[in-house]
């Protein structure tokens, strides 16, 4: 089943948001245009508690974008973003959600961050996404959303590890750090993933 996974298309990752992806909002009309081409559409949603330990503000004497060891996992410290119940955690207001059958929330455990829509960064807990997709008979997965070099990338890596076919829709995603994206792109392809544009869906 041809399935679209919309990763973290939330206000805090859009221009003006707390962890802004430059020009991130340009993906919204692209996603809306391709939604009707899929049999199943699901979304992931970053959903941090305010006291989450991936936030620099929760570590005295630490700065944003510093890298620390968080319970044995390398962790970049972020500005507070996508805090549960705040407008920043909401999906972009122009994103058409009527066709989204299920939303999988991540990063709810204060002790570990979650970049992937499938697992937390320590791989201790599953979101249930893989099981849901298998139950639905979804095997051909297409990915869009934010940010290309972080949550979209980690979600695609886990999809491939779980045995799904994974395709990145390149004009429906934007990286946070452009300089990291070329490495990410090569890695997706080397793992057996595909990269296309929305016109090829």
Q: What's the pLDDT tens digit per position in 24-76?
A: 999 999 999 999 999 999 999 999 999 999 999 999 999 999 999 999 999 99
Range of the domain at 183: 2-47+87-200
Give the closest residue to 154 by CA, choosing from 124, 102, 191, 99: 191
Domain-embedded: residue 41: yes
Question: Whose CA is closest to 40, among 142, 118, 117, 119?
Answer: 142
Residue 53 lies in a domain: no
Contact indicator for 82, 46 with CB cutoff of 8 Å = yes
- 66 assigned to some structural domain: no
Q: Is residue 35 one of the residues assigned to a domain?
A: yes
CA–CA dist 38, 80 (Å, integer) = 33
Residue 11 in any domain: the answer is: yes
In a domain, 124, yes or no: yes
Residue owning tokens 């319970």? 71
Is 58 among the domain residues?
A: no
Q: Which residues pair with 125 in a beta bridge?
A: none
The reply to whether 192 falls in a domain is: yes
115-161: per-residue pLDDT in tens? Answer: 999 999 999 999 999 999 999 999 999 999 999 999 999 999 999 99
How many structural domains comprise the chain? Answer: 1
CATH of the domain at 124: 3.40.50.850
Query: Within 10 A of 9 (CB to CB), how many other CB atoms are there?
Result: 25
pTM of the predicted protein model:
0.97
């Amino acid at each position: 089943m041809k399935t679209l996974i919309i990763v973290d298309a939330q206000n805090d990752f859009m221009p003006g948001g707390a962890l802004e992806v430059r020009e991130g909002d340009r993906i919204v009309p692209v996603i809306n245009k391709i939604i009707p081409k899929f049999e199943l559409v699901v979304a992931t949603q970053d959903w941090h508690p305010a006291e989450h330990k991936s936030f620099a503000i929760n570590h005295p004497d630490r700065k944003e974008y510093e890298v620390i060891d968080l319970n044995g996992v390398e962790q970049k410290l972020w500005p507070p973003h996508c805090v549960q119940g705040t407008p920043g955690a909401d999906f972009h207001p122009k994103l058409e959600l009527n066709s989204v059958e299920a939303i999988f929330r991540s990063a709810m455990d204060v002790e570990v961050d979650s970049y992937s829509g499938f697992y937390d960064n320590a791989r201790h807990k599953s979101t249930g996404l893989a099981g849901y997709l298998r139950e639905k008979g979804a095997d051909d997965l297409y990915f869009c959303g934010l940010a290309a070099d972080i949550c979209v990338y980690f979600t695609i890596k886990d999809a491939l590890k779980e045995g799904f076919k994974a395709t990145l829709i390149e004009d429906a995603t934007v990286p946070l750090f452009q300089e990291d994206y070329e490495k990410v792109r090569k890695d997706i392809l080397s793992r057996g993933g595909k990269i296309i544009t929305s016109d090829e869906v």
